[in-house]
Amino acid sequence: MKNDEFTVLRISETVSESPDVKSFIFDYDLNAKPGQFVMLWLPGVGEKPISVSGCKEGKFQLTVCGVGPFSNAVLKLQKGDKLGFRGPFGTSYSLPKKNGAIATLGGGYGSCPLAFLAEVAIAAGRTVYFIEGARTKERLLFGKRMSEAGVHVHFATDDGSFGIKGYATDILSNLLKEEKISKVFTCGPEIMMKKAIGICEEKKVPVEVSMERYMKCGIGVCGQCAVDDLGICLCREGPILDGKTAMKIKEFCAYHRDASGKIIK
């Protein structure tokens, strides 16, 4: 299991996505599928799971949002600096077998794996609706990249500074009324994903979500990211789950465990 050991690479390019979000591009054949993640290692600082935000032959990208000491240290890195990673790990989004339009619903930096999925879906000849919600216009991600890829882009902001003022889930709800959508893919705050599952259930459209918990080993050994009551580790049997499985997880939208295993409500 070679890809489970660290590979250290130099950053070949960086892209500033928003004031506190940056993408790092590496020249490396990662062979990741949309929804999968890597364990990103900044030597001397730490290691965190980061979802793959793009992957083509010979190149992949990771998008990091400054939320804590680790991610803020990564944001300071420049082209030519070294980063380590192991992976890709976890389950991936699966496009429906039959042709048909798909929709993605991302909240905040939840759009990272969805941008990757959208590009894969376009390459497979699908019609893609890319819905994204953020607090303000500055925080919206991948608008240009998605438009250039030929995706239908819909934005919602809390303050109405761009797109509609309101919730991204409202856009999804309307879209499902107006268009024939064969599957929905979502990633973001659990409350948004739960709402999306409800909307899709009503319209009988299958949906996949991305659910995360505190991860340490990334390979299904340490048990830190096991969820109640299914007892599955999200690093191995997640992060991508179908909506029905997510709804069976008692702690979905309710609580999580911290680094010690203590329940945080």
Partner 1 sequence: MLETELAGVKLQNPTVLASGILGVTGASLVRVATQNGAGAVTAKSVSLKERKGHPTPVLITYEHGMLNAVGLSNPGIDEFIPEIEYAVKNAGVPVIASIFGSKVTEFGEIAKRISAANPGIIEVNIACPNVDDEFGRPFSYDPGIAGVVTRIVKKNTKIPVFIKLSANVTNIGEIAKSVQESGADGITAINTVGPGMAINIEARKPILSNKSGGMSGPGIKPIAIKAVYDIYKSVKIPIIGTGGISTGRDAIEIIMAGASAAGIGSAVYYRGPGVFSKICSEMQEFMDKEGFSSIKEMRGIAHEK
Ligand X SMILES: Cc1cc2nc3c(=O)[nH]c(=O)nc-3n(C[C@H](O)[C@H](O)[C@H](O)COP(=O)(O)O)c2cc1C
Residues near ligand X (CB under 6 A) are 221-222
What DSSP line would sit under 69-117, residue for residue? HHHHHHHT--TT-EEEEEEEES------SS--EEEEEEEGGGHHHHHHH
Tokens standing for 234?
């999200």
- Cβ-based nearer residue to partner 1, 98 or 259: 259
Q: Judged by CB under 8 A, does residue 50 bind partner 1?
A: no
**Minimum distance of partner 1 from residue 181's CB (angstroms):** 34
Residue 145 has phi, psi (to 5 degrees) of -60, -40
Which member of 21, 22, 23, 47 binds partner 1 (CB under 8 A)?
A: 47
Residues 219 and 237: their CA atoms lie apart, in Å, by: 10
Under the binding rule (CB under 8 A), the answer on residue 44 touching partner 1 is yes
- β-partners of residue 241 are 209
- Among residues 199, 227, 234, 235, the one that binds partner 1 under rule CB under 8 A: 227
Question: At its nearest, how many Å lie between partner 1 and the CB of residue 16?
Answer: 25
Q: Which residue, 45 or 222, is less far from ligand X as judged by CB? A: 222
Q: Per CB under 8 A, does 119 bind partner 1?
A: no
* Under 8 Å between Cβ of 78 and 22: no
Interface with partner 1 includes 78 (CB under 8 A)? Answer: no
Residue from the set 29, 150, 223, 255 that interacts with partner 1 by CB under 8 A: 223
Closest distance to partner 1 from the beta carbon of 260 (Å): 5
Q: Considering the complex, state which of residue 43 and residue 223 has its C-beta at the smaller distance from ligand X.
A: 223
Q: Which is nearer to partner 1, 122 or 230 (CB)?
A: 230
**Binding region for partner 1 (CB under 8 A) out of 12-20, 157-165, 198-206, 256-264:** 256-264
Q: How far is CA 138 from CA 17, 18, 162, 201, in A?
A: 9, 6, 9, 32
With binding defined as CB under 8 A, does residue 11 bind partner 1? no
Token output for 125: 């000849």
Q: How far is the CB of 115 from partner 1 (least distance, A)?
A: 26
* Tokens read off for 46: 């730490």
Q: Is residue 46 involved in binding partner 1 (CB under 8 A)? A: yes
Task: Give strand ranges (E) for the chain.
Answer: 7-10, 13-18, 21-26, 37-42, 46-56, 59-65, 82-89, 101-107, 128-134, 152-157, 164-165, 181-187, 207-210, 240-242, 256-257, 263-264
Q: What is the side-by-side strand order in the sheet with 82-89? A: 7-10, 82-89, 37-42, 46-56, 59-65, 21-26, 13-18
Smallest distance from partner 1 to CB 11, Å: 13
Q: Out of 25, 149, 164, 217, which residue is the one contacting partner 1 (CB under 8 A)?
A: 217
List of residues contacting partner 1 (CB under 8 A): 1, 4-6, 8, 39, 41, 43-44, 46-48, 82, 84, 86, 216-217, 219-224, 226-233, 257-263
